[in-house]
Structures are given as C-alpha cells and as structure tokens.
Structure 1
C-alpha cells in the first residue's frame, strides 16, 4: 500500500516524538534520582512556606505531565477524543508548571532590586498580560485544531493536522519578556558589584541570568518551530521547554537554600539580612 508524502512525514514526526518523550521521562527520572538526597534534606529541614509549596508543585508536576504525554503518544490510533482531552490537560499543566517556575525568578528579581514595588508591579503586569494572551490563543488553537492519526500500521499517537496561525505569538511575547528580565538583571548586577556583594548575591544573579537566558532561548526556538515544523515536533519541544525550565528552577532553589544555610564570610549574613533573602529561600 502506498502512502502520501504527508502521511510519511507525519509518521516520522510521531516516531521522533516517541523517542524524545521517552528520553525526557528518563532524563527527569535520572535527575530526580541524582538529587533525591539533597531534596529530602531540603523538604525535611526547611520551613513550610508558600515558596516551598511552589517548589513542590514545580518539582513533582512534571511527573504527571510526562505520564500524560507518554500515554498520549502511545494511545490507540482510533481514540481521537482521548487525544484532544489529553492535549488540553497537558497544555493546562504545562502552563501551570511554567508559571510556578517563572515565579521563583520574578521574586528573585524583586529581591535583587531591594524589594522595589514599582518594578514588581511592572513585571507582574507585563507577565500577567502576556499570560492572558497566551491562554486565549492556546484555547482558540485547541478548539479549532483538527486531530488525526497515522494510517501507517504500527505508528501510534495522534497529531494536529491543522492549527491556528497565531500559535507562535505567545513565544514572541515571552521571548521579549525574558529579554527584558535579562537586561534589568544585568543592570542591577553591574550596580551591585560596586558594593562587594556576598556569595549569596553572586549565586542569585548567576541563577537569574542562566534561567532567563535559557527561557529566552527556548521561547525563540519554539517560535520558529511553531512556524515551520509539524505539530508533533512543536508539541514535544514545548514539553521539553516546560520540563527543562522546571528542573532548572527546582535545582536552583535548593542550591540557593543550601547557600543560605552555609554563608561564606562575615559579610554574607549582613547582605542576607539587608536584602531579605529569607523570603525566597524559606
């Protein structure tokens, strides 16, 4: 039996998605196993707070997200209704995971700027407006999307055979947002370096720059893939972004907490008190 070029391309993208999702699950499990000792020390010894709750969501929600994505990629071909439902659930969890991970670093930027409420209001206003636009576009894309399965035997999973042309817009918005956060963090870092910063300050700046740069890179990459690649590629790269940034956020939060527990030098605790790091490490 002969298949069209589109059928073959869709089958290849579904196979690649299967490999990548499986690799992501293995990567998450490996990372969790490697950090299990440090994580349980943090969970048992740190004080319960809102930030600790955000950490738990950020750390363990990827497990649920990966289970859903793996089930969706291995789901029987005839079950398109299940595909749509799972895609909506995965999108919702992905957005929640992204919000939790981003909150760590928005709050850190707020602390870096000596708890400047005007700056925090500007950051949150911009972020929430971009997030609202993202949710509206994502809901519209999911409603209008048509799902299909591969006619080639042995190829499981489903993909969107058509989607909204505006799906790239959220990635444009958040690439601009992350670039703005990189700039204001660099400005603050250059100002703060004149004051002989403590080790905790250096760790905080390095974490922010690394996270914002990674987030900007993923947003830019997904912007182009949403324009030029098939849906199954786009979906798996979105999931890779959610998972990777969540791992970064969780690992960096534990590292910051450990740095706060073991400050270097007598000046560290002075800076710690002045900048109220306890708000983001407790």
Structure 2
C-alpha cells in the first residue's frame, strides 16, 4: 500500500500518539495495586488531591489528544473549546506532577517552610513564563500564523511549545540539584531503604522528564512542521 508524503506524515503521527496513549494506560494498570494500597483510604489532604489530579487528569488529557489525532475534524466548524479543555487538562496534569515532586523535595528537606515557599513562587513564575512566552512566540514570530486555521481543527503545535519544555527542564534541574545536595550533605551516611528509595527514584524520574522534555524541544525546533 502506498501513501502520499502527507499521508505518510499523518500515519506516523497517529501511530506515535496512539502508542503514547497505550503506554499511559499500561503504566496506569501496572500501578493500580500500589494506588489501592498506599492512596485509597487516606484523608483528602493537599497531597492526595495533587496525586489524584496527576493520576487521572493525565488519562483524560491523553485521551483527548489521541481523539484529536485519529479523527477527521475537517468538517467541524470549530474545535476551539475542545482544544482549550485539552490544553487545560495537560497543563493541570503537568503542574500536579511537579507538585508531587515539590512535596518530595519538601519532605527530603525536613519540611523546610522557606524552601517550600521559594519552590512555589518559582513554580508560579515558571508557569506564567511558559504560557506567556510561548504565546508571544507563536503570535509575533508567526510559528503558527494567525488565520491559518481559524477553526482550530487541524491537529498540530507551534514551535513556541519548545519554550514551555525549556521552563520545565529548568525547574526539574532546580529540584534535582536540591535533592542531590541534601542527599550528600545531610544523608551522606544514611543507608535506610526510605532515604535510598526517595533519592534514587526521584533522580531517575526527574532525569527521564528532562530527557523527554529535551527531545520535545529538538522535535519542535528541528522536525518539519508537517510532522
């Protein structure tokens, strides 16, 4: 079966999106027993609310992205509301995931209130910067020229999205540096399973986020727009 160049791009993109959705569902299913054991039955404090948002909103946002990628919306008059909801879900899931890392770092630093306030202020500036700067880039540098798709039904993203991943990487580096510093300055001779797990898993997780975010930046800036 032969495809035109455009059709090949669409097929590749669709396969990537569906694959990502499958990975999210697979991970979700693998961790259900741990969720039942460790989360269910806990009181609804800020940590559980943050976890619930990171856990379930991610599924909703990924499902909406997958739907937008695999369906033909060319006959729809407007997809702006759908896109705004999808974007909001993705932003919520990212912020919630970062919130869990903030709580982890906060606990690792013996619940230092000043550190928590500093991290929250930095997070707020990072969110505002990521959203604001990317919109400016997309609007004034014409990476997504206004009027090209007034309905919002063409699936795609502008190069301004690389700005958002840049802010995310910077914040992850701050959390990673704080974790590494505390590990070797205070817990240097501690070998308890809890400290080892918090440190090791945190560093692995943040390293993965940084690597994937860097890949997204490269893709947004280098790969042709048709992809």
Give the equivalent residue in structure 2 for 1:93: 89
Q: CA, structure 1 residues 181+86, in 2 after alignment: closer, same or farther (shift >3 Å)?
A: same
Give the equivalent residue in structure 2 for 1:203: 197
In structure 1, list runs of 5 or more residues that go unmatched: 149-156, 234-282
Partner Cα separation in structure 1 for residue 224 and residue 33 of structure 2: 40
Shift of 1:72: 0.8
- Structure with more of its chain in helix, by fraction: 1
Give the equivalent residue in structure 2 for 1:252: none
Work out which structure has the larger RCO, using CA pairs closer than 8 Å and 6 or more positions apart in sequence.
1
| Paired residues, number | 218
TM-score, scaled to structure 1: 0.67
Q: What SS does the corresponding residue of 2:51 show, helix, strand or coil?
A: helix
Identify the match of residue 214 of structure 1 among 203, 208, 211: 208
In structure 2, list runs of 5 or more residues that go unmatched: none
The 10-residue stretch of structure 1 (133-142 or 104-113) with the greater mean CA deviation from structure 2: 133-142
Give the equivalent residue in structure 2 for 1:121: 117
TM-score, scaled to structure 2: 0.81
Identify the match of residue 57 of structure 1 among 53, 56, 61: 53
Shift of 1:216: 1.4
Partner Cα separation in structure 2 for residue 122 and residue 223 of structure 1: 27
Give the equivalent residue in structure 1 for 2:178: 184
Shift of 1:232: 6.6
| Residues 30-69 of structure 1 aligned to structure 2 (within 5 Å) | 30-69=26-65
8 Å CA contact retained: 1:13, 1:230: no
